[in-house]
Amino acid sequence: MTDTTRKIVCIEDEREMIDLVKLILSRYGYEVIGADGGRAGLETIRTHKPDLVLLDLMMPDMDGWEVYQQMKADEEMKEIPVVVVTAKAQSIDKVLGLHIAKVDDYITKPFGPEQLRASIERIFGS
């Protein structure tokens, strides 16, 4: 990996989804670090200082909104872009995420590889 490789933390309670995201994004040169659940996710962000976070909302130990709030309240994490990746496909959830919470993007599962890549590249300005 070069110094210019962008690091992405994927916070998700389903191991298969982390593996899928790693498979998709590694093809585009991203380094993906998986974190199993919200508490582990916050620790992973602190340790690895990623360029972007992919965040599931529905997790048993700490939901994604709580993770997001803690990130935005922390000086070292508040500038990291967050893309919500969730099965919550109701339009109200998307409005809350994008316009109220101000996440950087909101992707609903299931998603295609191109949708994930396009969202990330839009944020990175690629």
pLDDT digits 0-9 by tens, 27-64 = 999 999 999 999 999 999 999 999 999 999 989 999 99
Q: Name the residue with higher pLDDT: 116 or 108.
A: 116
The yes-or-no verdict on residue 2 having pLDDT over 70 is no
Domains (range + CATH), the chain: 7-124 (3.40.50.2300)
| Predicted local confidence at residue 102, as pLDDT | 79
The yes-or-no verdict on residue 97 having pLDDT over 70 is no
d(CA 73, CA 91): 26
Mean pLDDT of all residues belonging to the chain:
90
Q: Concatenate the DSSP letters of all residues of 55-96 into one string.
A: E-S--SSS-HHHHHHHHHHSTTTTTS-EEEEES---HHHHHI
Q: Is 108 left (phi over 0), alpha (psi -120 to 50) or beta?
A: beta
| Predicted local confidence at residue 3, as pLDDT | 54
For residue 97, give the amino acid letter. G
Confidence class for position 100, pLDDT limits 50, 70, 90: low
Beta bridge partners of 31: 7
